[in-house]
Amino acid sequence: MFPTYVEHPRNVKFEGQDPDEKILLLLRAHPVTNLPWVFFVLILFFVPFLIPTIATLTGFNLSVFPQTFQIIFFMIDYLLIFSTIYDGLLYWYFNVTIITNKKLIDIDFVNLLYKSVEIAPLHKIEEADSITAGLFGSFFNFGDIAIQTAGAHVAIKVKNIIRPSIVADIILDMAGKPLKQLEEEVS
């Protein structure tokens, strides 16, 4: 439904795509990277059910609070749950890296009002290093890729993608090929 590693995706376009440009690879962060906000949502969901139990155990009487305060607390809690889910899903879904036959595009979606797009032409990519760190990264095979380009351009860092060593190898293989050869292979 929401793939994280797609070779030659169909029906996918991006802003600024050239007519003869073909998408070779579409990447998103590994789904396991969503666990922190999912865990936070689960805690928020169970808080209203745990408060009466904790109040009973500590001897605190919740009836001192008016019913409207309790309703407002529940509303705030569930609005916080909804906004955390909405923000987490948008952040995960719209942070993508696209590799075409001409360039690498890294789109970092920060929030509804701000996004960062970094573009590196393939022929200017000199180095792509994969970094896998931690227990989850090693177990689920995800990590970061640091891409260095020629000239004064800043390095691009693609975060939390699945199969980072394979993707780095694909990027370096494509960066080493002449543009004509890439166009012929994709056609």
**Strand, helix or coil at 13?**
coil
Query: Whole-angstrom Cα distance, residue 186 to residue 139?
Result: 33
- Edge-first strand order for the sheet with 125-131 is 125-131, 142-149, 156-162
Which pair of tokens denotes residue 7?
A: 């070779």
Q: Is the pLDDT score of 56 beyond 90?
A: no
Convert 127-137 to b/e letters by CB count within 10 Å (16 or more is b): ebebeeeeebb
CA atoms within 13 A on the CB side of 113: 0
How high is the pLDDT of residue 185?
Answer: 60
Confidence category of residue 66, pLDDT binned at 50, 70, 90: confident
Spatial neighbors of 139 by CB under 8 A, at least 6 apart, are: none
How high is the pLDDT of residue 122?
Answer: 87
- What's the burial of 144, exposed, middle or buried (CB within 10 Å: 0-12/13-18/19+)? middle
* Residue found under tokens 């607390």: 73
Query: Whole-angstrom Cα distance, residue 169 to residue 67?
Result: 61
154-170: average pLDDT: 89
How high is the pLDDT of residue 153?
Answer: 62
How much of the chain exceeds pLDDT 90, in percent? 39
Domain 5-11+20-29+95-186 = CATH 2.30.29: yes
Q: What pLDDT digit, counting tens, does each position of 94-140 carry?
A: 999 999 998 999 999 888 788 888 888 888 888 888 999 888 889 99
**Cα–Cα nearest to 146, from 155, 133, 154, 136:** 155
Q: Is the pLDDT score of 186 beyond 70?
A: no
Which pair of tokens denotes residue 161?
A: 């993608």
Query: Whole-angstrom Cα distance, residue 103 to residue 119?
Result: 7
Confidence category of residue 39, pLDDT binned at 50, 70, 90: very high
Per-domain boundaries in the chain = 5-11+20-29+95-186, 36-89
Query: Whole-angstrom Cα distance, residue 50 to residue 39?
Result: 16
* Residue found under tokens 């060593």: 165
Q: Is the pLDDT score of 93 beyond 80?
A: yes
Q: What pLDDT digit, counting tens, does each position of 132-161 carry?
A: 988 888 999 999 999 988 876 668 888 999
At residue 148, φ and ψ (nearest 5 deg) are: -110, 135
Evaluate if pTM is beyond 0.95: no
Q: Is the pLDDT score of 179 beyond 60?
A: no
How high is the pLDDT of residue 15?
Answer: 86
Confidence category of residue 65, pLDDT binned at 50, 70, 90: confident
